[in-house]
Each structure stands twice: as structure tokens, then as C-alpha cells.
């Protein structure tokens, strides 16, 4: 059965023992809220010890894994498509929590109990809307996401003070927003700078300073992330996936994919199928 890629996805999980998560990432913004237990969460070369009240925020490009230190392990996890989040939340400063990664950025934030209880109520409400999928459920979820992230920004103001939007970070946000919406097209530094009415060298310099990536690296990473998700979650042909990810030359796509992942697209899909089959034997492995 083919998995439909959704704009918003939420899952509640409870494990009393033997939970493992392999190193992986998704083509989504992701938030993990820990309800009970203690975990060690690794994002790239950073490690965080998370307990109740803590939550982890990941963008589309960050590989991650976790180890459960104390059981029972209980959490809610959200996956939100960048376009859905940007359309529903709208505030660049809040969206920047998913897009800006200065050197001192912490993926771990913590809420005190009153705010945590309010967030938990919103999570349960979003879960009910997501599972029920009644008319306008996406708008309902969008409203709750706004409340959730406004609360997070208010409660974590000291930690998130580095996320304040300067003129440079606003330009970086605009570039990210442009790439998120146009990465399937024929995008160049010239087309980005023209769309933003800015000098291309200035755009490249500011973006690298703010995010740590060049605009073209970020765009290619978006394409590769999308390709990996489509290879894992659909039965579409590799050539169709290449087109959906902005590549008109199938050979170039395959070379880029192998350079980025170490696998050809077909080999990557096969390895994911093998992992999925092994997960059926041991259903505690894997986050999905």
C-alpha cells in the first residue's frame, strides 16, 4: 500500500522497552515532544539529553537519531511540510526557528509546566483533528500551530533571542522561502537575486553567513531530501521522481543523488525496502 505524503502528520508513541531509531531524516519540519522517559537525541554532531517538558525542533536537512536512556518512552511527533507551515503560521521570525541554524543554535527547548500543559492540550486537539479529518481540519490544525509556536516563542524568549530577524536574516528567510516554493524549477543564483531585487553576490554572502549553506547547496539538498522521501514513500518511477525534484536530465539526477547519499536511486529504494522488511520482524525499530 502506497503511503500518501501529507502536509501534516502526528503520531503518539509509547514504548516500555527495546526502542531503537536508526539514523535518518524526513523531508519535513519535525517536532518531538517528550511526555515521559529520558532520551539522548543526536542531530548532526550535537547531542541533547531530553526529559519531560523538552522538545526537539528539526528542519528538512538535519539527520538525527535517538537512544532511550530511561523507560517508559512516550512522545508525540509532528511532521509538517515547509509550505504548509509557512502558509499557516506566516510570521518570518517564528518560521526562522526551522530555517536558521547559527553555530550556537539549540535544537532542544524546554517549557515550564503551565505552558507545557497548554501545549499538550493543543497537541491532543491537533491529533483529534488529524485523525478525524473532518471538513476544514487543516485550517483547525493551522490555527493550533500558530498558538503553539507563539507560546513557544513567548516562553523561550531568552533562548530564542538569537532568532530575532535582522535585515540579513530576513534576506536569508526570503531566499529559503523562494527555494522552498521553486526548487523544482530551473533555479539559479541569478533567478533568486532577480526575484528579490538584490545583488546576487550579496545574496550568496548573506545566505551563507546566516545558514551555513550556499543557496545552491540548500536548493540541491531540498531536491535530494524530496527525492529520498518519494523513493521511500511512493512507487513512482525514478525518472518521474527526478522530474518532480527539478531534474530534466535523468543521468545528472542519478549522479547527484549518488554524490549526496552514496547510493544510486534504485539502490537507495531497495535498501529502504530491506530495512522496512526487517522492521516488520522487529517492529520496535524505526520511528514511523
Q: What is the pLDDT of residues 109-157, one digit of tens each?
A: 999 889 999 999 999 999 999 999 999 999 999 999 999 999 998 898 8
pLDDT at position 25 is: 56
Kind plus residue range of the DSSP H or E element containing 231: helix 215-233
What pLDDT does 241 receive? Answer: 93
Angle at 21 between CA 226 and CA 279, to 5 degrees: 85
For residue 49, pLDDT over 90 is answered with yes
For 198-223, what is each residue's pLDDT tens digit?
A: 999 999 998 888 777 889 988 988 88
Q: Dump pLDDT digits (tens) for 3-46.
A: 445 789 999 999 888 777 765 556 688 999 999 999 999 998 89
pLDDT value at 280 more than 80: no
Res 94: pLDDT = 83
pLDDT for 4 equals 47
* Distances, alpha carbon 195 to alpha carbons 34, 121, 187, 259, in Å: 41, 41, 11, 29
Residue 34 sits at φ, ψ, to 5 deg, of -90, 125
Amino acid at each position: 500500500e502506497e503511503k500518501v505524503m501529507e502536509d501534516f502528520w502526528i503520531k503518539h508513541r509509547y514504548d516500555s522497552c527495546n526502542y531503537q531509531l536508526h539514523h535518518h531524516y524526513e523531508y519535513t519540519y519535525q517536532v518531538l515532544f517528550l511526555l515521559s522517559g529520558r532520551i539522548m537525541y543526536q542531530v548532526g554532531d550535537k547531542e541533547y539529553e531530553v526529559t519531560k517538558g523538552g522538545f526537539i525542533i528539526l528542519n528538512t536537512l538535519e539527520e538525527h537519531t535517538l537512544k532511550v536512556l530511561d523507560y517508559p518512552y512516550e512522545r508525540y511527533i509532528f511532521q509538517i511540510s515547509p509550505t504548509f507551515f509557512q502558509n499557516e503560521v506566516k510570521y518570518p521570525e517564528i518560521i526562522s526557528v526551522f530555517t536558521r541554524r547559527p553555530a550556537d543554535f539549540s535544537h532542544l527547548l524546554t517549557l515550564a509546566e503551565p505552558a507545557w500543559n497548554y501545549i499538550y492540550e493543543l497537541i491532543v486537539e491537533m491529533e483529534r483533528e488529524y485523525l478525524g479529518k473532518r471538513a476544514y481540519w487543516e485550517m483547525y490544525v493551522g490555527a493550533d500551530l500558530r498558538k503553539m509556536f507563539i507560546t513557544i516563542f513567548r516562553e523561550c524568549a531568552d533562548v530564542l533571542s538569537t532568532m530575532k530577524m535582522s535585515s540579513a536574516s530576513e534576506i536569508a528567510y526570503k531566499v529559503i522561502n523562494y527555494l522552498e516554493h521553486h526548487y523544482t524549477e530551473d533555479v539559479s543564483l541569478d533567478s533568486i537575486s532577480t526575484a528579490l531585487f538584490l545583488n546576487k553576490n550579496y545574496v550568496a554572502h548573506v545566505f551563507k553567513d546566516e545558514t551555513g549553506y550556499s543557496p545552491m547547496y540548500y536548493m540541491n539538498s531540498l531536491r535530494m531530501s524530496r527525492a529520498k522521501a518519494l523513493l521511500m514513500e511512493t512507487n513512482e518511477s525514478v525518472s518521474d521522481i527526478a522530474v518532480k525534484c527539478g531534474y530534466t536530465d535523468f543521468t545528472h539526477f542519478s549522479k547527484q543523488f549518488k554524490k549526496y547519499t552514496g547510493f544510486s536511486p534504485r539502490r537507495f529504494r531497495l535498501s529502504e525496502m530491506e530495512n522496512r522488511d526487517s522492521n516488520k520482524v522487529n517492529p520496535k525499530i524505526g520511528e514511523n
